[in-house]
Amino acid sequence: MKDTLQFTLPPGSRSFLSLSFLFVVVAGFCWGSTRWQNINEEGSFLNYRRQSLIGEETYSIVSRDGALFIKAKQSENERGKITGFETEMQMKADLTPIFYENKFITTTETLNELKVLVTPSGVSVAEGDMDVQLKPLGDFFPVHSDIPAAVEMMMYHYYFAQGKEQPIITYPRGKVTIEFRKQDTVEIKGKTLVLDRYKVKGITWGFEVVWLDQAKNLIASVKANTQIREVIRKGYEEGLPTFIKGNVEEQMEALAEYTRQAKGIGGKLVALVGGDVVDGLTADTKRDMTVIVEGGKIMLIGPRKDTAIPRDARVIDVTGKTLIPGLWDMHAHSNQVQWAPAYLAGGVTTIRDNGNEVEFATAFRDAVEQKGALGPDILLAGMTDGEGILGNGIIRARTPEEARNVVAMYYSKGYRQIKIYNSLKPEIVKVLAEEAHKLGITVTGHVPRAVGNAREAVELGMDMLSHQGLFLSVLFPGVSFDVMRVKKLLLGEITLAQIDSATEFFLKHKTVLDPTIALDIKASLPTGAPVESVMPDVGRQAYELWEGKRFQKGLTPEKAQEARKNVVKAMDIIGHFVRAGIPVVAGTDNAVPVFSLYLEIESYSKLGHLTPLQALQSATIVPARAMGLALHTGTLEAGKEADIAILEKNPLDSIDNIRSVSAVVTNGNYYESRLLWPLADFLGNN
């Protein structure tokens, strides 16, 4: 006998589907597991970003009238940005989902509100600002990258209740696969507990690492999606080191597998024959050339007709293509190994990781540098912040002694820079800079709030500055960038005297600037304007990334116009800096993986009025010089490392051609982009 389950929809659901009836679900099931009978459970999960506690999610699971009702509420304070969401879910007793609604309760950049409802004619899905879709009835689970931990836990219960280890079809799109990896033991309040470790794909870019207890309850997860986050069931915080270690193990195993799959063309001798060469030094293009690579270094560059190819060389025909120096991303946050194939596919052979978890960052770098793993060369800048809730990460310098210890720790692990963040006090910045310089490493990062102005930051010892919205405070001596924003000084008339004074100051101190203008361009889009309007490749990225980048709040037309003026004005000034000799380096800060680097480079030419060569140099020889590596890389010259991006079109003809990367050479291997993009779950460009 089939039971009839009747329930009341949550407020707003009727308007969502224009329903004028009370939906009735016919459920053919027995109550099954006694676990879900008369359940009335409450709990919470702690949310961490880079191991720093930033929020909490509370949840409840209640059985009523033969159904399960799940509610979750999350609140985070992430460096002063208050965000949160409320979620309701209803499931049949066999854990089949009936209704799901996730909505944000505070303002946030990503507004991917999701509503899913089973109806007699199909599963109705409303995602963000997209049209309502009707999906087929059948086994599915509602999943998006912002899925609450409580709902994710119910997904695992649903998965194991099915009794079949098959992927879970998910709405709005995709599927989730769950792979058992091993068992880990953790010590919690003096007791040894055994947890099952799983690798879960389909929720976040790449995968997340998940730990379940023997009752299949979610205990912890570590995931990235461009920034590392840890979620831990309250009471299990002592297990954090185990969870960090487990994530690094799984990431490195995945990188090893990518390396096996990439199948780069290597060998002691490789000859790239017939391509045009842009060496990165001059605006000349050398036509129909041969480049001989031996042991990962450029041995010879010469005209094809005059260059003898060694008999034992592996020959690669690059006729009609353009060879340029491998690109640099000088403001990366490569928090997961999927960056490795993505960066190489896009022609990026070197990155400066500008703040990351130490355990993962050092393992990633060492795998590439010491074990020959697939990936760009990685230079590390160590994130360092001060006290308080606005701080970033867990490595803090609140006293001079702590500052000295932080520098010593980073130096011992091979970091090349100290990264200054917002909450550091001026006197601590000074100690950090002095200690770093004693050891021969440099100091980069933000202008801290307590410092307030780029001039003061540089005078305290900072060698490099990030984000144009911070370092352009140099135009207003004695005025903090917070005051600048309030008074909108950048939108006013900037005198030539101000620019000349700022230029003289930066030249005197040999300051390197990292504008991250692509971030500002993306942030200046009006409501409803797709990210594709400024980054046409964005739709090729993994769908879990697309979800977060696609659904953004946007600005009112008036504010968007004002923001755009600010961007144009800033780039005009930055262009002046470059022409005066101030080093400006291209970096993305994760606006959109890889593709935002192209926008950054293009903007230097189009908005900064730089030549295509100057724009290209911001991502090649200029960062190489800034990091003290110009003798080894950054241009295509005999004797240098063979870091080469191979393009279908010449970027000196049009800077937009920077997007036409089809292959890359790095660390002695030649890789075709079309084979690398799928490893990163990106669509190819062919």
* 645 contacts 661 by C-beta, under 8 angstroms: yes
The confidence score (pLDDT) of residue 592 equals 83
Q: Is 481 left (phi over 0), alpha (psi -120 to 50) or beta?
A: alpha
Which range, of 102-116, 213-227, 348-362, averages the lowest pLDDT?
A: 102-116
Q: Is 371 left (phi over 0), alpha (psi -120 to 50) or beta?
A: alpha
Q: β-strand 269-277 against 208-212: which pairing, if any?
A: unpaired
Query: What's the CA gap between 234 and 286, in Å, rounded?
Result: 62
266 has a pLDDT exceeding 80: no
DSSP state string for 652-679: TT-GGGGG-EEEEEETTEEEEHHHHGGG
pLDDT digits (tens, 9 = 90+) for 210-219: 999 999 999 9
Q: Confidence class of residue 8 from pLDDT cuts 50, 70 and 90?
A: very low
Q: Is 619 left (phi over 0), alpha (psi -120 to 50) or beta?
A: alpha
638 has a pLDDT exceeding 50: yes
The confidence score (pLDDT) of residue 591 equals 79
* 626 contacts 583 by C-beta, under 8 angstroms: yes
The confidence score (pLDDT) of residue 165 equals 79
Which range, of 219-233, 552-566, 600-614, averages the lowest pLDDT?
A: 552-566
Q: State mean pLDDT over 330-354.
A: 97
Query: What's the CA gap between 636 and 297, in Å, rounded?
Result: 10
Query: What's the CA gap between 676 and 662, in Å, rounded?
Result: 10
The confidence score (pLDDT) of residue 423 equals 96
Where is 606: in which H helix or E strand? helix 595-606
pLDDT digits (tens, 9 = 90+) for 598-611: 999 999 999 999 99
DSSP 3-state helix, strand, coil percentages of the chain (rounded to 5)? 30, 30, 35
Q: How far from 662 is each of 11, 347, 428, 492, CA to CA, in Å?
A: 51, 8, 46, 43
> What is the number of other CB atoms lying within 10 angstroms of the CB of residue 622?
24
11 has a pLDDT exceeding 60: no
More confident residue, 296 or 546: 296
pLDDT digits (tens, 9 = 90+) for 572-588: 999 999 999 999 999 99
Q: Where are the beta strands (DSSP E) in 128-190?
A: 133-135, 141-142, 168-171, 175-188
Q: State mean pLDDT over 662-671.
A: 95
Where is 601: in which H helix or E strand? helix 595-606
DSSP state string for 462-493: --EEE-HHHHGGGGSTT--HHHHHHHTGGGSP
> What is the number of other CB atoms lying within 10 angstroms of the CB of residue 20?
6
Which range, of 25-34, 432-441, 621-630, averages the lowest pLDDT?
A: 25-34
Any bridge partners for residue 232, and if so which?
A: 46, 220
* 61 contacts 44 by C-beta, under 8 angstroms: no
How wide is the angle at C-alpha 359 spanned by C-alphas 356 and 362, nearest 5°?
A: 80
Token duo for residue 6: 């009747």
Q: Confidence class of residue 31 from pLDDT cuts 50, 70 and 90?
A: very low
Q: β-strand 218-223 against 208-212: which pairing, if any?
A: antiparallel
DSSP state string for 171-187: ESS-EEEEEEEEEEEEE
Which range, of 177-181, 266-270, 402-406, averages the lowest pLDDT?
A: 266-270
Residue among 620, 552, 523 nearest 282 (CA): 620
Residue among 380, 379, 397 nearest 388 (CA): 397
The confidence score (pLDDT) of residue 528 equals 83
Q: State mean pLDDT over 31-43.
A: 79
46 has a pLDDT exceeding 70: yes
* 586 contacts 330 by C-beta, under 8 angstroms: yes
Residue 374 identity (one-letter amino acid):
L
The confidence score (pLDDT) of residue 442 equals 98
Q: State mean pLDDT over 154-161.
A: 94
The confidence score (pLDDT) of residue 104 equals 85
* 226 contacts 333 by C-beta, under 8 angstroms: yes
The confidence score (pLDDT) of residue 538 equals 87
The confidence score (pLDDT) of residue 109 equals 56
Q: Phi and psi for 679 in degrees, rounded to 5?
A: -65, -30
Query: What's the CA gap between 299 and 68, in Å, rounded?
Result: 68
